[in-house]
Structure 1
Amino acid sequence: MLVVHGLWLAGGRLALWAEDSTLPERPPGRPGRPPRERPHPFAAAHTALAEALGESATTATTGIRPLTLPTRAGAPVESPELVRAEPAAPGRAAVTLVPWRVPTLEYDADDALPLLRTIHRDTGLPGAVPGAGPRHLAQLAEFALDLVARGRTLPGLDGDRAVWRPLLTGADAGWARALAMALPPAVKAASPGPADPSGPDGVEPRLGAAELVADALDRLTDAAARVALEGVRLTEARRGTGTDAAVRGWLRALTGRERTVAGPPGALAELDRELRGWQRDAAGGAVRACFRMVEPAVGDDDERWRLEFALQAADEPSLVVAADRIWAAQGELPGLARHLDAPEETLLGELGRASRLWPGLETALRTAMPEALDLDSEGAHRFLRDGAPILHAAGFGVLLPSWWQRPGARLGARVAARTRTAPGTVAARSSLGLESLVDYRWELALGDQPLTEDELKGLAALKTPLVRLRGQWVEVDPKRIAAGLRLLRSAGEMTVGDLLRLGLELGDEPDALPVLGVTADGALGDLLAGRAERHLAPVDEPPGFRGTLRPYQKRGLAWLSFLQSLGLGGVLADDMGLGKTVQILSLLARDEGTGPTLLVCPMSLVGNWQREAAKFAPELRVHVHHGAERPRGPEFTAAVRDADLVVTTYSIAARDAADLAVIEWHRVVVDEAQAIKNAATRQAVAVRALPARHRIAVTGTPVENRLADLWSIMDFANPGLLGAAPTFKKRYAEPIERHGDDEAAQRLRRITGPFVLRRVKSDKSIISDLPEKLEMEVLCNLTAEQASLYQAVVDDMLARIESSEGIERRGLVLATMTKLKQVCNHPAQLLRDGSAMSGRSGKLARLEELLDEVLAAGEKALLFTQYAEFGNMLRAHLSARLGREVLFLHGAVGKAARDELVARFQTDAGPPLFVLSLKAGGTGLTLTAANHVVHVDRWWNPAVEDQATDRAFRIGQRRAVQVRKFVCAGTVEEKISAMIGEKRGLAARIVGTGEQWLTELSTSELRRLFALEAGAVVE
């Protein structure tokens, strides 16, 4: 396996190099060789790197680069992503930074952009795993593309080169700073070298993090702008002289890959001065003009509005100095002294710059010392509506009356709806739904003040855009009044879905007649008015439920029942460990007999749902739909007829979509709903198309990476509620993710809030209700490859055990046990072939799902395994998949290094995951930074496992600790776990010496113990 690393070189190029896990850890070079001549011992050669990069390698040039890398005992330290078949034993020597030479493939920015975009889109590289460096640079490339798409760029000159530069203000500037702070050290590991004659003494300079990110963003933005302008000509190919020729040459060089501008040096210098002056106008400086709109005083018959001028510190908006003070002070302004020397000149310059954007200011500039501009109501309205947004977008300060932004300052509409059931009666279960019809009529209002048709006509007759009404200023738009009069005369019917969108997106269309409120009768009205809590009083466990629900779980059951009564779906997004499964099972037990429920989950959770249903709702008839022999067509229909709960997997739901679609499902539940976060995948499309009266999505991480995840999950629960995906992206995802738009975020919370129930363990009302240590057994299924290997081991070893005796037989039994446990962990552990890890192990798939939730919650986890080689494989795989450093402690780690690992993990900013071998990490450590413990494979000695768990569950731990013990269903692991569970009091005697007791079992007992049971493999 190759791990590709990325560098950004001072000359504006991307350099890639790779570590090769198949290369032996050979000696790094002859002693005494100069540092710059030492080759990196396991860096991939040019040919291997080119083969791994595929077609993108054809645009690269080869190079040899000196890198300054962490080094221990004369050899470079392996990156966390590198996977070796055997774990490397860490030395005891200190880590130092030493230069090493590596073969590189290097790209200019034009060729780097598509390669980095490929990495960002998770399509990866053909034959390699991208490390932290390329992933970070891919984020920069995506940022550059977004800046170009939003027009946040400026054209300019860099010597004799035409360039596009990013315009970074506000949230964009903050994002650029965040990217600089998050820069992986490996990206700037390039040592100064004789590659760029522009550096001192012909040596390429080394860039700091901020300089490197700025340079990379400049180059990638320039490349992205040229992609966007492909095929566009900015000027005609006419001849000219002097400055005219320079301008035409510059415009031609702003497109295509040729950036050099031909022209006389003096003309280029003049063009550069003009461009820099224009760009200063666009970008602004440390001090900016500020405009304050002052409304007429009460009783002012003249009703003159006043637009006052001031200067404002760009980095300290509260520092505002009015123009009259500036002219009176004659340069003595202590508050602005650190920002500028000549405030009068700055004010005039800023007002001149603003007048180019809003010509209405030119009148004030005709005076020698402009202080303000007097306006009538129409002029004030034009500034409020058009001028203020333009000036604000250009970076000027704008202070407006508080009422202007309130909905009550504008004419709006209200909808009064009535459901088609008698008021005051309880709606029949599922009597409503998004497609159900309600009757409605329109009302018009100014804020909370209802208006009659006569009042509207009176406002229209005033012929003025700003009116003082009932003590407050309001905007009167003739077009909105006309639209309002038409609405008053309309009534009709609409779907519940349309009504919800109206009620939850209040004021979402500022240029249209806004919807100020929606009212309805009954439970639907409570949902719209935010009074759903009256329906969420805790309910007792239903008769068919065998268990005790905690108070917050009873509220969850009430919430699910409330949404179901309206025919609406929901997202149960409780934090992991809060019992989402039992809340769903209690709902199923409550609704027993109303129709079949289809539950779709990952393969690794099928066994868990089957067993939890048997434990908590034993009266439910459960049918597990999976495996090659699963019923199809009429047989499947018959099986569903005899079931209350049908459990299947996402992949089967996609394959058997036609069979599933013919059933009239009462309810469809998707567990680990982040599996449908990518809306375009086959399984997401199939699951969303399933017909059901009620839909529930269950997930601990409703938003993993992008808001598009939330759209896909919500579109399953309540189809169409958030609109089409492109509309959602434009309205919510881009404003929130890219620009930090708080208003858009509030609108999204308002529309999704009623349908998402999320409780977290950090909430004291929840935490106080949890036990200090919650232990659970997590059943995982084997993949087909695992099952095949498992059966091969059993067949081979049982034949050998039958023909042996004494010490040899006992040794074979223990060897069989070890091999079977390795198969249950991962085929690559048994085969020791260094093969890929993804998609081949049920345990690993379940572990990845769990760790996604742990990281999303900002928490930490300990992962115990009894096999050091598997621990090393886990560390490498998880580090590469999750993009986080993963610590690893095993027996070969010395005391100093062990103490360093523990200290780093215990800090708040330390790595969130710690893999430990059970023998090395099971005792003597305090690791209370973690509140999750996972026993990936079992030692079968409860005392030993408890000791390991106590690394986190000990004095100093302030949070509830969740302990998960992974067991493969239908295998020897599950059978031994059952034996321990049945005889817990005798556990020390049964398994007190590890697995030695197995050696005394007869061959027939061993055959039953090792046999692979039906249901071990889901698909």
Structure 2
Amino acid sequence: MQVVHGVWAYGRLALWGETAPPDGPGELVTLTLTLPTADGRPLPASGETPDGATLADWPVQARLVDPVDAFDLLGALDDDAGGDLRYLAVVADYARGLLHRGRLLPQLVTEAGTNAARWRPVLTGRDATAFRMLAAAMPPALRAAGAPPPGAVLRELLDAFVDAAARQSLPDRLLLGHRPGPKAPVADRWMRALTAPDPTVTATATQRPELAALRTALSAWHDAAHQANEPVRVCFRLVEPLPTTDRWDLEFALQSVDDPSLYVPAEVIWAGQRVPGLPARPDETLLAGLGRAVRLFPPLDEALREARPTESVLDTAAAFTFLRQAAPLLQAAGYGVQLPAWAGRKSLGLKLTTRAKPAASGKGLAAQGVGRDQLVDFKVDLMVGDEEISADDLHALARLKVPLLRVKGRWVELDDRQLTAAIQAVEQHRSGEMTIAEVLGQVAAGGEEELPLVTVDADGWLGDLLSGDADHRLRPTPTPAAFQGTLRPYQERGLSWLDFLTRLGIGGVLADDMGLGKTAQTLSLLLAEREQATDVGATLLICPMSLVSNWRKEAEKFAPSLDVYVHHGATRDAARLGGADLVITTYGTALRDLDALRAVEWGRVVCDEAQAIKNSAARQSQAVRAIPARTRLALTGTPVENHLAELWSIMDFANPGLLGPAKTFRRRYQEPIEVRQDEEAAAALKRATGPFVLRRLKTDKTIISDLPEKLEMKVWCPLTPEQAALYQAVVDDMLNKIGASQGIARRGNVLAAMTRLKQVCNHPAQLLRDGSRLSGRSGKLARLQELAEEIIEEGDKGLVFTQYAEFGSLLQPYLAAHLDRPVLWLHGGLSKQRRDELVNRFQTDPEPMIFLLSLKAAGTGLNLTAANHVIHVDRWWNPAVEDQATDRAYRIGQARNVQVRKFICTGTIEERVDEMIERKKALAQSVVGTGEEWLTELSTDELRDLFALDPKAVG
């Protein structure tokens, strides 16, 4: 996308460039924008407005893009896009979040004299607060043409984006059967228009009262959703029938919005039992909620005729109507809905069976002739669950025309489009021959959108590879004779896997846990392929700057026969790029020297610490992708830090296009897994990526049995009275500033408050910056000094991590004076040579010592196995970042148990955030975002609770 700006005009996104509108779809128009003007020229949309500037009208050529198309454009922004477009991208993400959390309702609105079916957001609680913040942060360029106030502009923009998001995520018709005709009920035509490309709802003169009644009912529903902001909600649970009956039970209950585990069935409510967390009159809450729900699912009316309704009894047809129509609408309206595990899942799937040709049968992985073009026999069968289904059975099901039925003992939903795709698959007699490359491509693609690949049955080494068992069962490639060292068994298997993918011309992701020797396996691969062939091409290795020396030294140690050239710094020479066996460079240099790197015919491109390219839209990631090579390899111990989109980005580097476009990946895998915890989607993703990702963990004793234990513990530190007084003063001051600010300013104030509170927890001198004495003023410092003395007395070495360089600069002279032992200090301001000297001294000097390290400068890439103690004196609040830092000591080469201590000040923000992290860890290894950005979205009341000082914090 070109460098463009945008405004919201005429219900569409208007894009324009600095000199001309961007190329692409959309109506070309001329807008009149009121822009800041100086020296007779309009000023850029970003940047400061100089004194003396005036407002003037300017004609601007632009393209009007429909909201649905705008999603894709906003998702593909580059780093040079204007701040106004970045704001629009934030609003689009906010709209997607509302959709994922069910915070929207269908409505009937009037647009330019016509009636339209639209989805509208429900903004209550935190969503309402977020809306106000977004309105306050709106860039002036978005409303430069005499637009209404920011809140009105944002509401129109959000309405359009929510409607677009809903239509993208709900491609199926909500109302099945024939298309409603001109005489069909207005409600039927309205429901169809909710997912149709044309949202228009037509009505004859005689249907106008019906149209007005529908609009009134929907408006009342929307108003009620905004009014019913209660802590509990009505929940519906659909229970499938016993094998011999046709009775479906739709059970009623009340459920806590904040704690879904608080689930109280209607029987308990009508029995009069008091349940903590429910309103004083839970019966009234239940009846009121059921009364509103009747509009979405009329069969509830019969249950409401009872004095104390507990459930609604449905037949199979009504149950299907509830599943397909009522359930999504009820969830969108804020009701709880619990469905059977099979509901909403694809009922039909494909089974791919491959068999090696007789001539190749039984050959090991290292056999000659294995390649992308080797042929195997294949056939495709249809599956319902774990059962194969024949063509005759399939046609029989199609003739039944029943959308919900039992098939071989299990209930399934039969979708018309799935049935059509399945019949086409059967009629095409899907069997014959395909190449290994085609097999791997089919597995990665996961089948078709309507007919997913649910299982793969392959024999021999291909079966081992596709089943994810290649690490253990494939015949290993021998350790190259030129390798100066001994590969562990699992490393030899990793070499075999890498060598196999290389000979197929397929990229891979070596995702072994940190410290398991990804460097040694990669170097052994380079040596092995040079023993097997002469013309293998040079390997370009891209890594963070902190790892350049490590790679060079490891190559000198394990593979001295390789010609290694480090392409970094002022002395780099582009003429040497094509002549070396291994060229080492950094991500920053790769971006700057892209043209020179693209001119070389690389045999392989390797990305170490590949999480550096986890953002596919970043210029750094795009530059790395643009370097051509026969094969690619990504090395990372954390293939997913925060979101599955990071896995897609790394996989797309290793095998471009294999997982399809990012949009398809997001719809097929990311959203079902992250939003709905869909186990089938997770299994499908594992099956799709398994052949190309090798992941081993240090905690797996079958992988490595001689790595010592890692003992993690939390160290609770009290505040001194001085710290407590400063802490409370910061809280009082910052809460007033936060409460009086909005938008970006509020986010900045929240981050500033957290920084200052963490500085107080470290030491008053860090906050005050007055050069005052350190002794006796900090509970953390006192505990750190005690632990450091114990470490030194035991003859050990310890790592002490801090995220604040200024705090490390205070600690280094203090600890050195009190310990009378070396206290090294590594931070980002040191030269590469000085960093290497410090690391070498710590690793080789037998004297007990402490190594202070800045988390940003030393959290990755260093081998510090001389330490058997790790102390995190302040927290980064991202478990993945802390684990990476800990693994500087807990890695191969470590002979002793490693003790890891995390300092937390009792009764402060540190303790409360630690509790939040522990809760989030139960959902995923690294749900918490990098740094502290995720905390800025909390409300002022939540921040007040987060910042509050507990009296027991003072020691």
Q: Does residue 716 of structure 1 match 2:657?
A: no
Residue 529 (structure 2) aligns with: 591
Structure 1 residues 609-758: aligned runs within 5 Å: 609-624=551-566, 639=579, 643-650=580-587, 653=590, 660-661=597-598, 664-680=601-617, 684-703=621-640, 707-731=644-668, 748-758=685-695
The whole-number CA distance in structure 2 between the counterparts of 1:463 and 1:963 is 61
Q: Percent identity?
A: 43
Equivalent AA in structure 2 for residue 895 of structure 1: S
Shift, 1:396, TM fit:
2.4
Q: What do residues 797-849 of structure 1 show as CA deviations (whole Å, max 9, x unaligned)?
A: xxxxxxxxxxxxxxxxxxxxxxxxxxxxxxxxxxxxxxxxxxxxxxxxxxxxx
1:915 counterpart (808, 812, 822) = 808
Change (3 A) 1:152 1:489: closer
Q: Does residue 290 of structure 1 match 2:183?
A: no
Change (3 A) 1:387 1:500: farther
The whole-number CA distance in structure 1 between the counterparts of 2:813 and 2:226 is 66
Shift, 1:558, TM fit:
3.6
Contact kept, 8 Å, 1:678 with 1:712, in 2: the verdict is yes
Contact kept, 8 Å, 1:165 with 1:221, in 2: the verdict is no
Residue 384 (structure 2) aligns with: 446
Change (3 A) 1:930 1:122: farther
Report SS of the residue matched to 1:590. Answer: helix
The whole-number CA distance in structure 1 between the counterparts of 2:890 and 2:393 is 67
Residue 517 (structure 1) aligns with: 455
Q: Does residue 901 of structure 1 match 2:781?
A: yes
Report SS of the residue matched to 2:656. Answer: coil
Change (3 A) 1:523 1:892: farther
Instruction: Please identify the structure whose Cα radius of gyration is greater.
Output: 1
Contact kept, 8 Å, 1:419 with 1:438, in 2: the verdict is yes
Shift, 1:462, TM fit:
3.2
Contact kept, 8 Å, 1:601 with 1:649, in 2: the verdict is yes
Report SS of the residue matched to 2:605. Answer: strand
Q: What do residues 682-708 of structure 1 show as CA deviations (whole Å, max 9, x unaligned)?
A: 554343244434321223444456554
The whole-number CA distance in structure 2 between the counterparts of 1:467 and 1:764 is 46
Equivalent AA in structure 2 for residue 376 of structure 1: D
Residue 220 (structure 1) aligns with: 133
Q: What do residues 71-126 of structure 1 show as CA deviations (whole Å, max 9, x unaligned)?
A: xxxxxxxxxxxxxxxxxxxxxxxxxxxxxxxxxxxxxxxxxxxxxx9xx9999999
Residue 105 (structure 1) aligns with: none
Contact kept, 8 Å, 2:102 with 2:332, in 1: the verdict is no
Structure 1 residues 878-897: aligned runs within 5 Å: 893-897=773-777
Contact kept, 8 Å, 1:165 with 1:218, in 2: the verdict is no
Shift, 1:412, TM fit:
2.3
Q: What do residues 968-997 of structure 1 show as CA deviations (whole Å, max 9, x unaligned)?
A: xxxxxxxxxxxxxxxxxxxxxxxxxxxxxx
Q: What do residues 643-667 of structure 1 show as CA deviations (whole Å, max 9, x unaligned)?
A: 5334445456556656655655433
The whole-number CA distance in structure 2 between the counterparts of 1:884 and 1:483 is 63
Kindly report the root-mean-square deviation, in angstroms, between the aligned alpha carbons of the 2 structures.
6.0
Change (3 A) 1:464 1:737: closer
Contact kept, 8 Å, 2:221 with 2:292, in 1: the verdict is no
Contact kept, 8 Å, 1:670 with 1:698, in 2: the verdict is yes
Q: Does residue 533 of structure 1 match 2:446?
A: no
Change (3 A) 1:427 1:234: same
Q: Which runs of 5+ in 2 are unaligned?
A: 1-45, 54-73, 106-119, 159-215, 711-751, 789-798, 853-863, 872-885, 892-955
Shift, 1:585, TM fit:
1.2
Shift, 1:561, TM fit:
3.1
Residue 317 (structure 2) aligns with: 378
Q: Does residue 503 of structure 1 match 2:447?
A: no
Q: Does residue 307 of structure 1 match 2:187?
A: no
Structure 1 residues 601-1000: aligned runs within 5 Å: 601-602=542-543, 605-624=547-566, 639=579, 643-650=580-587, 653=590, 660-661=597-598, 664-680=601-617, 684-703=621-640, 707-731=644-668, 748-759=685-696, 769-770=706-707, 893-897=773-777, 900-901=780-781, 903=783, 911=802, 915-916=808-809, 920-922=814-816, 924-925=818-819, 936=835, 938=837, 946-949=847-850, 962=889
The whole-number CA distance in structure 1 between the counterparts of 2:144 and 2:378 is 52
Q: Does residue 470 of structure 1 match 2:408?
A: yes
Shift, 1:583, TM fit:
1.9
Change (3 A) 1:904 1:499: farther
Report SS of the residue matched to 2:352. Answer: strand
The whole-number CA distance in structure 2 between the counterparts of 1:588 and 1:344 is 72
Per the normalisation by structure 1, the TM-score is: 0.52
Q: Does residue 359 of structure 1 match 2:293?
A: no
Residue 413 (structure 1) aligns with: 350
Shift, 1:581, TM fit:
1.9
Q: What do residues 37-75 of structure 1 show as CA deviations (whole Å, max 9, x unaligned)?
A: xxxxxxxxxxxxxxxx95179899xxxxxxxxxxxxxxx
Shift, 1:724, TM fit:
1.9
Residue 580 (structure 1) aligns with: 518
Contact kept, 8 Å, 1:702 with 1:710, in 2: the verdict is yes
Q: Does residue 556 of structure 1 match 2:494?
A: yes
Change (3 A) 1:686 1:139: closer
Structure 1 residues 261-340: aligned runs within 5 Å: 278-280=223-225, 285-300=230-245, 303-314=246-257, 317=260, 320=263, 322-323=265-266, 329=270, 332-336=271-275, 339-340=278-279
Q: Does residue 600 of structure 1 match 2:541?
A: yes
Per the normalisation by structure 2, the TM-score is: 0.55
- Range that drifts further, 569-578 or 887-896: 887-896
Shift, 1:902, TM fit:
5.2
The whole-number CA distance in structure 2 between the counterparts of 1:419 and 1:224 is 61
Report SS of the residue matched to 1:915. Answer: helix
Shift, 1:443, TM fit:
1.0
Shift, 1:911, TM fit:
4.7
Change (3 A) 1:382 1:398: same
Q: Does residue 348 of structure 1 match 2:287?
A: yes
Shift, 1:546, TM fit:
0.8
Q: What do residues 596-650 of structure 1 show as CA deviations (whole Å, max 9, x unaligned)?
A: 23122345655543443232122234455567887768x865x3xxx53344454
Change (3 A) 1:742 1:415: closer
Q: What do residues 262-317 of structure 1 show as CA deviations (whole Å, max 9, x unaligned)?
A: xxxxxxxxx9xx989924467553443333333333334xx343434344454554
Equivalent AA in structure 2 for residue 529 of structure 1: S
Contact kept, 8 Å, 2:461 with 2:474, in 1: the verdict is no
Equivalent AA in structure 1 for residue 537 of structure 2: P
Q: What do residues 495-541 of structure 1 show as CA deviations (whole Å, max 9, x unaligned)?
A: 767754653575995xx233322333443332332332333687763
Residue 396 (structure 2) aligns with: 458
Q: What do residues 860-881 of structure 1 show as CA deviations (whole Å, max 9, x unaligned)?
A: xxxxxxxxxxxxxxxx9xx99x
Contact kept, 8 Å, 2:102 with 2:334, in 1: the verdict is no
Report SS of the residue matched to 2:383. Answer: strand
Report SS of the residue matched to 1:384. Answer: helix
Shift, 1:414, TM fit:
1.9
Change (3 A) 1:651 1:325: closer
Contact kept, 8 Å, 1:145 with 1:224, in 2: the verdict is no
The whole-number CA distance in structure 2 between the counterparts of 1:698 and 1:601 is 10
Report SS of the residue matched to 2:294. Answer: helix
